[in-house]
Amino acid sequence: MHSKAFVDPLWRAATKLFYYKDAKEEGELLEMKACIKCHTPLGFRSHSISSPEEDYDKLAPLPAQGIFCNWCHNINEVKHIGDAAYEVAPGGGLAEPSTMLGPFKDSETPFHPSKYSELHTKSEFCGLCHNVSHVANNLPLETTYDEWKESPYNSGNPETTVNCQDCHMRQRPGIPATGKTERPDNPGKAAFDGPDRKHIWTHYFVGGNAIVTKLLGSEVNAGMAIERLKNAADLEIIKEGSYSTGQPALIKVKVINSGAGHYLPTGVTEIREMWLTLKVKDASGKIIFSSGDLDKEGNLDKDAVLYNTQLGDKEGKPTINVALADRVLHDYRIPPKGHRIENFSFDIPPGAKSPLEIETTLKYRSISPALAKKLMGDNSPEIPIIDMVNETDRIILKN
Ligand code: HEC
Ligand code: HEC
Ligand code: HEC
Ligand code: HEC
């Protein structure tokens, strides 16, 4: 996703659409211009592009690589966490290569100077970009780093702290490396002529996005996003009291964020959709209750239990456009190592056949098909829905 940050078709569509169509006031336009700040940091800092108004395809190949190797490994000064408030120390081309900052104290190579950087081994490094606020009104838009900072994963003890890197740079195919799985070392060499190392930090940088990497040619990354999502949460069905035909019934579902080091979901949560489904059938297969269904166009039922955020504009009207955002109207998500309990009440019809089968599933998609279509028109890809976790139970009816 880092190498695709500037060619990401969703990002491109969002920045183009919002810029031209809706952003009008000075503060809104300033925020729109900032879209390129993190998605092509070299383009922004070298002034080769200054706003989404410009033709993206004209940007030189290097800045178009988004967040590339040297960019991260040349970050050498933090002004504050978030909003890309850091400095980079570039080199002078092949003749005068830049100093690569990284986790090793004994890294030597004839190709470039190397230097140990504690910053690169800590969540603060990721927080430089993974905390985003509105440039004009400072409204927090993405708070992944803050969510992690307040979480139990940030124990305050360097021995037990689980940094972003521990989950996101240990993952490799088959090893999701989340809060609920092992996060084993990945022994090897960092360079063909380097020494054997106990652990090499992987660079897949996989989150929940199974669309963009696939569209741009990486089935491997898309598959790893699915693996990550399937190891992010747990569900528990809680039965309340007794259940009888012709009587009202209550089923509770506990949704636990057992795998993510931040809220579930995190990042651009005004776009993401994570929701809970519950289906209750009787022994003859008749559906007695259903929640979290999609219509034919793939729109989620309005009454579904949905975990996301909703931004509001100056008038307090809901908006999906971050440039117009002035407040957060609604934030319903699950904190790291925390949970939420959802209540489902319904009536058991008089003729229902015992036992009842209950099934609940936590589902995730990066964007709704309706919004994808609004942004990308007929080019909008098919949006996969990932079943993160699923739980079943049965109820014996009393009469
Ligand atoms: C301070 C850094 C920063 C700035 C400025 C920024 N972004 Fe992002 N953007 C991110 C990060 C980090 C993510 C990854 C979060 C995630 O995937 O949930 C992201 C992800 C996105 C995504 C999701 C893409 C996908 O494939 O799902 C969209 C859309 C997006 N940004 C649009 C924008 C727009 C529009 C602007 C300008 C108004 C903007 N960004 C400005 C850091 C930034
Ligand atoms: C998003 C920022 C980022 C990008 C992009 C990035 N790296 Fe890294 N890299 C890191 C961080 C952070 C670490 C250290 C992690 C730690 O110690 O916790 C690291 C570690 C390394 C190491 C030390 C060996 C290891 O893997 O443990 C090497 C070598 C390296 N990166 C090379 C590269 C190369 C080559 C690229 C481009 C293909 C690249 N990096 C892209 C952030 C980045
Ligand atoms: C220089 C800014 C920058 C730094 C530093 C950075 N990121 Fe990112 N990261 C981004 C942007 C921008 C995106 C969004 C790309 C997109 O969606 O188009 C992103 C995307 C991601 C994604 C993919 C999200 C998804 O929806 O699948 C993950 C995971 C991620 N970053 C983790 C990390 C971790 C872990 C670190 C620290 C080791 C880190 N990033 C450091 C800017 C940065
Ligand atoms: C304990 C493990 C763990 C830690 C620590 C952790 N993450 Fe994650 N991260 C996950 C899991 C699991 C997911 C997939 C579920 C999800 O999308 O939230 C994820 C997803 C993401 C996403 C994609 C979110 C989305 O839905 O689009 C981003 C971006 C991200 N992480 C960045 C970070 C950053 C930055 C840090 C450190 C501040 C961090 N993560 C720390 C486990 C972790």
**pLDDT, tens only, 263-278:** 999 999 999 999 999 9
Please confirm whether the linkage preceding 355 is cis (ω < 30° from 0).
yes
Confidence of residue 217 (pLDDT cuts 50, 70, 90): confident
Give nearest CA residue, ligand 3 atom 18: 5
Atom of ligand 3 nearest to the CA of 207: 27
**Alpha-carbon gap, residue 290 to 304, rounded angstroms:** 10
Distance from residue 398's CA to the centre of ligand 1 (Å): 53
**Alpha-carbon gap, residue 249 to 239, rounded angstroms:** 9
Ligand nearest to the CA of 130: 1
For residue 269 and ligand 4, the question of a CB distance below 6 A is answered with no
Q: What is the pLDDT of residues 293-330, one digit of tens each?
A: 999 999 999 999 999 999 999 999 999 999 999 999 99
Distance from residue 195's CA to the centre of ligand 2 (Å): 16
**Alpha-carbon gap, residue 312 to 152, rounded angstroms:** 30
**Alpha-carbon gap, residue 217 to 4, rounded angstroms:** 11
Confidence of residue 18 (pLDDT cuts 50, 70, 90): confident
> Taking the CB of residue 381, how many other CB atoms lie within 10 A of it?
15
List all residues whose CB is within 6 A of at least one atom of ligand 1.
Answer: 8, 10-11, 14-15, 18, 31-32, 34-35, 37-39, 83-84, 129-130, 132, 142, 207, 209, 212, 267-268, 322-323, 366
240-247 mean pLDDT = 93
Confidence of residue 343 (pLDDT cuts 50, 70, 90): very high
For residue 386 and ligand 4, the question of a CB distance below 6 A is answered with no
Range of lowest pLDDT (12-21, 23-32, 38-47)? 12-21
Q: What is the pLDDT of residues 54-91, one digit of tens each?
A: 999 999 999 999 999 999 999 999 999 999 999 999 88
